[in-house]
């Protein structure tokens, strides 16, 4: 499956409506943006953001293949940079929607434009992405493959655009943005040995490299960042991958690997029902005896921004696969499908069983702003920590 298959379009009026709702529901957002502006003024020396620490990166998809690539760095809270990284810890900390938006509005996205195949859109004669270890794209790659936030300095072309991009049900929201002139490392980042191995092996296809890193204990969040930075795959195929696409690509690839691990496993021997609830999303996970099958059914409440016809009844959508999996991208439920499937497969692989699985996701009107597909993944993962009902 091509990475292009992971594109999920969003109508502009829907995007604008979600931004409006986020600002209306969270009165604290305006205060946080004003506080960010004060901290930004204190942190800038001339036109350089000094003492910055970048815990993560962002790769956009607008105007593909000449796309925005960014370094995400907290301003005024550099010592806690790791807490700004989107991962499972946000679930463990019990972050509410407000908490997620506050984290994202505290991150400055310093970005430049680059071509997915080369670091400069001005000249296609520049080195390919896989050879780039200097310049803005090179610094971004160093941040992506490092095992902890990286200290750097960022030269800016302008002051931040203070605003909230409410994001989508796949990608997390984004806060202030500024055009970057350059970026320089202030330290030599530590790169874990397994990541070095995937970088050095030019003949390794991206899917195999992702699976290798997962088997070595890297979570999908880490792998997603490395893939986005164009640091995985065969040499001639390495390119920058928009964050939104890479999230789903990694969930899908790791899910296929886990599905292969349980192909010959015995079935569960009874019907089990697991449940969880988080940020206005309710989940029921039903495991039944039999060979692997999976279906996700989403139910979106009337009056919810997620319901395409908010004045109608509950909106239903579903997608499924059989024992052999799918050969095409899931249009119906998009990234949520792969995230939920991953959580189920991780559990089944951990107990050495397979099962028919039905996941029901109810999106209530309490889910008033998207926080990203990570909440689907973590809600399903953590549902199995409870005690199941049985039939």
Q: What is the DSSP string of 347-366?
A: HHHHHT-B-EEEEEEEE-TT
Cβ neighbors of 386 (< 8 A, separation 6 or more) are 274, 275, 276
Residue-level pLDDT at 33: 61
Give the side-chain half-sphere CA count within 13 A for 386. 17
Q: Which two tokens stand for residue 10?
A: 């969003």
Cβ neighbors of 287 (< 8 A, separation 6 or more) are 268, 271, 272, 273, 274, 344, 348, 355, 356, 357, 388
The 10 Å Cβ neighbour count of residue 343 is 23
Q: Which DSSP symbol is given to 127?
A: P
Residue-level pLDDT at 309: 67
pTM for this model (two decimals): 0.87
Closest of 25, 71, 338 to residue 166, by C-alpha: 25
Cβ neighbors of 236 (< 8 A, separation 6 or more) are none
Task: Convert 63-94 to b/e letters by CB count within 10 Å (16 or more is b).
Answer: eeeebbbbbbbbbbebeebeebbbbeebbeee
pLDDT by residue for the chain (391 residues), tens only, comes to: 444 444 344 344 555 555 555 555 555 555 666 666 666 666 666 566 666 788 899 999 888 888 999 999 887 778 888 888 889 999 999 999 888 888 887 888 888 998 888 766 655 555 566 666 778 888 999 999 999 999 988 888 877 776 666 555 666 666 788 888 889 998 899 999 999 999 888 788 999 999 999 999 999 999 999 999 988 988 878 889 999 999 999 999 999 999 999 999 999 999 999 999 999 999 999 999 999 999 999 998 876 666 766 666 788 889 999 998 887 888 778 899 999 999 999 999 999 999 999 999 999 888 877 788 999 999 999 999 978 876 6
Length of the chain: 391
Closest of 378, 358, 362, 381 to residue 271, by C-alpha: 358
Distances (CA, A) of 214 to 100, 209, 220, 385: 26, 9, 7, 21
Q: Which two tokens stand for residue 169?
A: 């049900």
318 phi and psi angles, rounded to 5 deg: -150, 160
List residues bridging with 44 in a β-sheet.
49
Q: Is the peptide bond before 253 cis (omega within 30 degrees of 0)?
A: no
DSSP string, 72-83: EEESS-GGGGGG
Closest of 46, 112, 105 to residue 77, by C-alpha: 105
CA distance 308 to 292: 32
Q: Which two tokens stand for residue 277?
A: 């609830």
Sheet of 293-300, strands arranged across: 315-321, 293-300, 356-363, 281-288, 272-278, 389-390
Q: Do residues 145 and 167 lie in contact, with contact meaning Cβ atoms separated by under 8 Å?
A: no
Residue-level pLDDT at 327: 79
Torsion over CA: 166, 319, 257, 207 (sign): negative
């Amino acid at each position: 499956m091509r990475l292009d298959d992971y594109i999920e379009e969003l109508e502009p009026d829907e995007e604008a409506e979600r931004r409006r709702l986020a600002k209306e529901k969270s009165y604290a957002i305006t205060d946080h943006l004003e506080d960010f502006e004060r901290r930004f003024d204190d942190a800038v020396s001339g036109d350089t953001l000094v003492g910055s620490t970048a815990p993560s990166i962002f790769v956009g998809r607008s105007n593909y293949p000449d796309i925005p690539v960014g370094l995400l760095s907290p301003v005024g809270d550099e010592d806690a940079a790791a807490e700004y990284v989107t991962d499972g810890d946000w679930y463990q900390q019990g972050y509410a929607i407000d908490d997620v938006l506050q984290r994202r509005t505290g991150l400055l996205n310093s970005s430049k434009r680059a071509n997915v195949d080369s670091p400069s859109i001005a000249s296609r004669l520049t080195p390919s992405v896989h050879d780039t270890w200097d310049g803005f794209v090179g610094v971004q790659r160093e941040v992506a493959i490092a095992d902890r936030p990286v200290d750097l300095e960022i030269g800016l072309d302008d002051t931040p655009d203070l605003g909230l991009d409410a994001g989508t049900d796949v990608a997390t929201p984004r806060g202030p943005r500024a055009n970057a002139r350059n970026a320089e490392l202030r330290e030599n980042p530590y790169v874990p040995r397994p990541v070095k191995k995937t970088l050095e092996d030019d003949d390794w296809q991206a899917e195999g490299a992702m699976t290798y890193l997962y088997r070595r204990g890297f979570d999908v969040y880490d792998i997603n960042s490395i893939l986005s930075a164009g640091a995985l795959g065969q040499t001639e195929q390495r390119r920058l991958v928009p964050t939104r696409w890479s999230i789903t690509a990694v969930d899908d690839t790791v899910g296929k690997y886990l599905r292969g691990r349980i192909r010959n496993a015995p079935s569960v021997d009874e019907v089990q029902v697991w449940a969880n609830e988080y940020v206005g999303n309710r989940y029921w996970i039903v495991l039944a005896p039999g060979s692997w099958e999976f279906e996700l059914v989403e139910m979106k409440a009337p009056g919810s921004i997620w319901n395409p016809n908010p004045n109608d009844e509950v909106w239903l959508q579903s997608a499924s696969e059989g024992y052999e999996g799918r050969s095409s991208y899931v249009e119906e439920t998009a990234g949520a499908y792969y995230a939920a499937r991953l959580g189920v497969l991780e559990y089944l692989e951990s107990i050495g069983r397979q099962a028919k699985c039905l996941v029901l996701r109810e999106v209530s009107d309490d889910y008033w702003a998207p926080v990203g597909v990570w909440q689907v993944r973590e809600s399903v993962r953590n549902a199995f920590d409870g005690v199941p009902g049985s039939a």
